Chain A
């Protein structure tokens, strides 16, 4: 794991200068989008007048048609411009930050954790209709094989008016690694929403959840408040979730402050950290010359890389050495 001071030094000594052309490119794109938006607004007004006066559309229909067309054209141009910028941004910012954190890790901006691994984790049992991701990082951290990437899974749902739309199942960082103990059973640790909002009734409802295996009550008060645990084997679940590990998971949860899902399947650990936005994507309105902006990406990568140390996954027991 790299420190913030080492990033600060690297940023001001090397990175900032290298980012100047990219910053110019960002400014050019923003300006182009502003100009495009101006012309689109003009276009929308002209289109509205044509629809309303020449083609006799009602004012409501004319405004809906014209605004929608303008909006779609803008989105198309925005996506096109952003895609090119994003690719260069990932090469020049994300890859270089990762190199600063751990030079041995491999970064592939277009790859992601596969569907098989996602399903094997059993963290999200809902059937998905769309499976997307990016920014796969893989390699060995303190002799532990690790892979993580951004993932976004969605399922189709119909709203009350029968319209189909995509609902997010999971969006965020998906991490998998070798666990430091050998085990055969499955243990799943989920954020405890029911108990926190419904109290004893919530615990009772969790016990009724047959799809996840048996509800495990663990002897760590803080951990029990934040998480709910399901497993196949009460002894093995406690063998995996030792007091020390539960303590570390609670600390990790506090540090990240996002919903965390963990599962332990066939001697592997899977961690899903949910976010409400895409990760590793540039924000066109923010300047690359602001350290605080670059720091956010650094902290995200550092947290993911730091999981091995935080959870002491490198301290292996005999059967896994």
Chain B
């Protein structure tokens, strides 16, 4: 009887440890995603100001501004799931970066204090987003690895936990921002 109790106790202990490991890894992914989301919001908050400043000078880019504003409002909707959020963010990122390239054709903007401040803040937020994505991917990798390991995979199957997708990080983003180019 005692032996059974010891074995039962040991199994229960192992079950609790594995269960808690899985939950903590899952929560870690959610926490980091929340962090990433907070930084993305920081960028969304910059957009109205940026658009207002640029509109005065870049009259031919009205369509781009409309698209950016609409993407921003879509991205801020609370009902969005993680996947849609990231898809919208990707689209917004690429529009913003091409807009920043176009800005170079407007030398008058380079002398505008307000714009320069917004541009620098935006680049800083981009760096934070890049860091948050890397942190998110690492936490997803840890979580996915745990899901595949025996005997956690059995428990994960029982808890109906599924693998999560990592975010694709562009090579340019990996290489990090070249500060010299940013502050030309």
Minimum CB–CB distance for B184 against chain A, Å = 13
Minimum CB–CB distance for B145 against chain A, Å = 11
Docked pose: A120 CA to B71 CA in angstroms: 44
Minimum CB–CB distance for A262 against chain B, Å = 17
Nearest B residue to A239 by beta-carbon distance? B131
Chain A residues whose C-beta falls within 8 Å of the C-beta of B137 in the assembled complex: 219
Which of B121, B131, B142, B179 is A217 in contact with, Cβ under 8 Å?
A: B142
Contacts of A213-236 to chain B: CB distance below 8 A: 216-219, 234-236
Docked pose: A262 CA to B93 CA in angstroms: 33
A234-B32, A244-B176, A315-B179 as given contacts; A239 in contact with B127, CB under 8 Å: yes
Nearest B residue to A216 by beta-carbon distance? B138
Nearest B residue to A238 by beta-carbon distance? B131
Minimum CB–CB distance for A269 against chain B, Å = 16
Is B144 part of the binding interface, using a Cβ–Cβ cutoff of 8 Å?
Answer: no
Which of B120, B121, B123, B128 is A235 in contact with, Cβ under 8 Å?
A: B128
Nearest B residue to A240 by beta-carbon distance? B131
Chain A residues whose C-beta falls within 8 Å of the C-beta of B128 in the assembled complex: 235, 239
Per-residue contact bits, chain B 120-142, to A (CB 8 Å; 1 contact, 0 not): 11011001101110110111001
Chain B residues whose C-beta falls within 8 Å of the C-beta of A318 in the assembled complex: 117, 120-121, 123-124
Nearest A residue to B173 by beta-carbon distance? A243
Chain A residues whose C-beta falls within 8 Å of the C-beta of B162 in the assembled complex: none
* A235 close to B132 (CB less than 8 A): yes
Minimum CB–CB distance for A320 against chain B, Å = 9
* B179 close to A242 (CB less than 8 A): no
Docked pose: A237 CA to B35 CA in angstroms: 13
Contacts of B88-134 to chain A: CB distance below 8 A: 117, 120-121, 123-124, 127-128, 130-132, 134
* A interface, size bucket: 20 to 34
Minimum CB–CB distance for A221 against chain B, Å = 13
A219-B137, A317-B124 as given contacts; A242 in contact with B131, CB under 8 Å: yes
A315-B179, A317-B127 as given contacts; A217 in contact with B132, CB under 8 Å: no
Which of A234, A245, A319 is B135 in contact with, Cβ under 8 Å?
A: A234
Minimum CB–CB distance for B24 against chain A, Å = 11
Chain B residues whose C-beta falls within 8 Å of the C-beta of A181 in the assembled complex: 127
Chain A residues whose C-beta falls within 8 Å of the C-beta of B35 in the assembled complex: 234-235
Most chain B beta carbons < 10 A, residue from A181, A234, A318: A318
* B138 close to A234 (CB less than 8 A): yes
Nearest B residue to A319 by beta-carbon distance? B124
* A235 close to B175 (CB less than 8 A): no
Chain B residues whose C-beta falls within 8 Å of the C-beta of A236 in the assembled complex: 131
Docked pose: A236 CA to B127 CA in angstroms: 10
Minimum CB–CB distance for B123 against chain A, Å = 7
Chain B residues whose C-beta falls within 8 Å of the C-beta of A312 in the assembled complex: 179
Minimum CB–CB distance for B89 against chain A, Å = 16
Chain A residues whose C-beta falls within 8 Å of the C-beta of B134 in the assembled complex: 219, 238
Contacts of A285-321 to chain B: CB distance below 8 A: 312, 315-319, 321
Which of B32, B131, B175 is A244 in contact with, Cβ under 8 Å?
A: B175
Docked pose: A319 CA to B176 CA in angstroms: 18
Which of A216, A237, A239, A317 is B179 in contact with, Cβ under 8 Å?
A: A317
Q: Which residues of B contact A (CB under 8 A)?
A: 32, 35-36, 39, 117, 120-121, 123-124, 127-128, 130-132, 134-135, 137-139, 142, 174-177, 179-180
Nearest first, the 9 closest Cβ-Cβ pairs linking A and B are A318-B120, A239-B131, A238-B131, A244-B176, A234-B135, A315-B179, A242-B176, A235-B132, A235-B135
Pick 26 A–B contacts, CB within 8 A, sort by A. Answer: A181-B127, A216-B138, A217-B138, A219-B137, A234-B135, A235-B35, A235-B39, A235-B131, A235-B132, A235-B135, A236-B131, A237-B135, A238-B135, A239-B128, A239-B132, A242-B127, A243-B175, A244-B175, A244-B176, A312-B179, A315-B180, A317-B120, A317-B179, A318-B117, A318-B120, A319-B124
Q: Which residues of A contact B (CB under 8 A)?
A: 181, 216-219, 234-239, 242-245, 312, 315-319, 321
